[in-house]
């Protein structure tokens, strides 16, 4: 074990580190990430093992409790999730007031924030109720997400069913209709389960830092998670999965004119970037991207789903991996590059992709929030700045200003 105080040197001046590229904001026991070697572990377990051998709810338990659940613990956790699957009917009325075609991400962040009003146990001692609140959040976010989709397409809501698994229940709420019952296929459940596990945590990324930042001021868990959802929404972070599909569709419409998009991405005057490539920490393949690519091939074959975007994605990847611009900058496909193609095969609409990411990331956000609040070393997040504005100026009264 490392005594962190040995690593800290009081230099007496402010370090300018834009984007916090070189700053560690906390010590954590949750996720290990080696960006040079492409290694990712949750609580010490390799992502490859967890993604191929676990249920998403086992991984959620692992992140929250620092141990894989035994059978009894898993059953108890499952029961907790079942008990909290419904949302208060007043929240349903509240959902109903969003305009048609409201963004599911915006609905998600607002509804999660409002959970504090409907389930306020947190207020006395947030850590005392953390297991209950965590279960509520993990279960209800799935219901809110599915309801937000039904709302966006104007279909009646489908309520949760406790005879289904975590992922099966979500899919049923999304796709069951009074006129066409949804058949929950095990292959689709397995693919979704894998995707959620791959998204479950990723140390101090932008959204997790937002969760910790809000929590560091004493903000409650619901509002901290809502902040995380909003941070995730941006196209440089979780919103990239949606942006990838729009980019691949644009290339498709442009008669597969890869050259044009590659040239735009390289042009420093053009803000366009190849969505789904590059990562702040990985300097090699994102291990989650590798697992997703394999899963993608598998699910497309099983479902016999022909997607022209898959060929475009493969070709684009091939071109990028052989282009000196991208090679010299260590730009490899990240998790978002292939995840959208799987979501399409599962029938998930594009505007729900980032919501799916949030569903997966939620246990990690909660575990990070909990770790921060339990750590006696935690201080309010409050970076400094380098002031580059005007020097002191004489005040000019309104009537004398030019």
The single-letter DSSP state of residue 251 is: H
Cβ-contact 247, 290 below 8 angstroms: no
Exactly one of 6, 279, 286, 323 is catalytic; name it: 279
Query: Residue from 67, 101, 260, 329 that binds ligand ACO (CB under 6 A)?
Result: 329
Stretch that binds ligand ACO, among 103-111, 112-120, 252-260, 334-342 (CB under 6 A): 334-342
Residue 95 or 341: which CB sits closer to ligand ACO? 341
Residue 4 or 15: which CB sits closer to ligand ACO? 15
Residue 217 or 315: which CB sits closer to ligand ACO? 315
Cβ-contact 37, 284 below 8 angstroms: yes
Closest separation between CB of residue 329 and ligand ACO, Å? 4
Per residue, the 3-state secondary structure of 134-202, as one string, reads: HHHHHHHHHHHHHHHHHHHHCCCCCCCCCCCCHHHHHHHHHHCCCCCCCCCCHHHHHHHHHHHHHHCCC
Q: Rg (Cα) of the chain, in Å, rounded? A: 22
Contact between 278 and ligand ACO per CB under 6 A: yes
Q: CA dihedral defined by 5, 6, 11, 14, rounded to 10 degrees?
A: -50
Whether 237 is a known active-site residue: answer no
Q: CA dihedral defined by 259, 260, 264, 265, rounded to 10 degrees?
A: -40
Residue 376 phi/psi, 5° resolution?
Answer: -65, -20
The residue count for binding ligand ACO (CB under 6 A) is 19
Angle ∠(60,92,180) on CA atoms, nearest 5:
80
Query: Residue from 228, 336, 348, 364 that binds ligand ACO (CB under 6 A)?
Result: 336
Query: Residue from 148, 334, 354, 368 that binds ligand ACO (CB under 6 A)?
Result: 334
Contact between 279 and ligand ACO per CB under 6 A: yes
Contact between 248 and ligand ACO per CB under 6 A: no
Residue 184 or 313: which CB sits closer to ligand ACO? 313
Query: Residue from 215, 276, 340, 364 that binds ligand ACO (CB under 6 A)?
Result: 276
Closest separation between CB of residue 122 and ligand ACO, Å? 28
Stretch that binds ligand ACO, among 50-58, 248-256, 332-340, 364-372 (CB under 6 A): 332-340
Exactly one of 176, 201, 286, 336 is catalytic; name it: 336
86 to 63, 115, 187: CA distances (angstroms): 24, 12, 26
Whether 323 is a known active-site residue: answer no
- Three-class DSSP category at 91: helix
Residue 20 or 120: which CB sits closer to ligand ACO? 20
> How many Cα atoms within 13 Å fall on the side-chain side of residue 386?
7
> Which residues between 9 and 38 bind ligand ACO (CB under 6 A)?
19
What string marks each residue from 226 to 245 as x (binds ligand ACO by CB under 6 A) or -?
----------xxx-x-----
> How many Cα atoms within 13 Å fall on the side-chain side of residue 129?
15
The residue nearest ligand ACO at its CB is 278
Closest CA to 338 of 398, 389, 287, 264: 287
Contact between 277 and ligand ACO per CB under 6 A: yes
Stretch that binds ligand ACO, among 76-84, 174-182, 278-286, 342-350 (CB under 6 A): 278-286
Cβ-contact 332, 289 below 8 angstroms: yes
The catalytic residues are 279, 336
Q: Which positions touch ligand ACO (CB under 6 A)?
A: 19, 236-238, 240, 265, 273-280, 329, 331, 334-336
């Amino acid at each position: 074990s490392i005594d962190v105080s040995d690593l800290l040197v009081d230099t007496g001046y402010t370090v300018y580190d834009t984007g916090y590229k070189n700053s560690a904001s906390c010590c954590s026991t949750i996720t290990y990430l080696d960006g040079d070697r492409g290694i990712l572990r949750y609580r010490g377990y390799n992502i490859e093992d967890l993604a191929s051998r676990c249920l998403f709810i086992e991984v959620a338990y692992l992140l929250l409790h620092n141990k894989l659940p035994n059978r009894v613990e898993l059953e108890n956790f499952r029961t907790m999730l079942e008990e909290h699957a419904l949302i208060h009917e007043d929240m349903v009325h509240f959902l109903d007031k969003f305009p048609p075609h409201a963004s599911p991400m915006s609905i998600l962040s607002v509804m999660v924030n409002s959970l504090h009003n409907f389930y306020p146990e947190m207020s006395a001692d947030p850590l005392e109720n953390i297991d209950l609140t965590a279960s509520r959040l993990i279960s209800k976010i799935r219901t809110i997400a599915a309801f937000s989709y039904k709302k966006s397409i104007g279909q009646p809501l489908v309520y949760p069913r406790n005879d289904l698994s975590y992922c099966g229940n979500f899919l049923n709420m999304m796709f069951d209709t009074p006129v066409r019952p949804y058949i929950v296929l095990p292959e689709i459940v397995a693919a979704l389960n894998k995707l959620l596990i791959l998204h479950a945590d990723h140390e101090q990324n932008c959204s997790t830092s937002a969760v910790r930042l809000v929590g560091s001021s004493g903000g409650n868990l619901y509002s901290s998670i809502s902040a995380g959802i909003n941070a995730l929404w941006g196209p440089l972070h979780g919103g990239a999965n949606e942006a990838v599909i729009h980019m691949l569709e644009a290339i498709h419409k442009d008669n597969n004119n890869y050259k044009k998009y590659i040239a735009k991405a390289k042009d420093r005057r053009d803000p366009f970037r190849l969505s789904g490539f590059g990562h702040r920490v990985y300097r090699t393949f994102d291990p989650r991207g590798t697992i997703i690519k394999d899963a993608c091939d598998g699910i497309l074959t099983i479902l016999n789903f022909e997607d022209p975007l898959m060929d475009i994605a493969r070709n684009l990847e091939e071109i990028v991996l052989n282009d000196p611009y991208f090679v010299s900058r260590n730009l490899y496909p990240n998790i978002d590059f292939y995840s959208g193609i799987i979501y399409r095969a599962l029938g998930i609409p594009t505007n729900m992709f980032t919501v799916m990411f949030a569903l997966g990331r939620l246990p990690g956000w909660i575990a990070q929030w909990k770790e921060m609040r339990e750590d006696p070393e935690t201080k309010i997040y409050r970076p400094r700045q380098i002031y580059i504005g005007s020097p002191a100026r004489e005040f000019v009264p309104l009537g004398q200003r030019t």
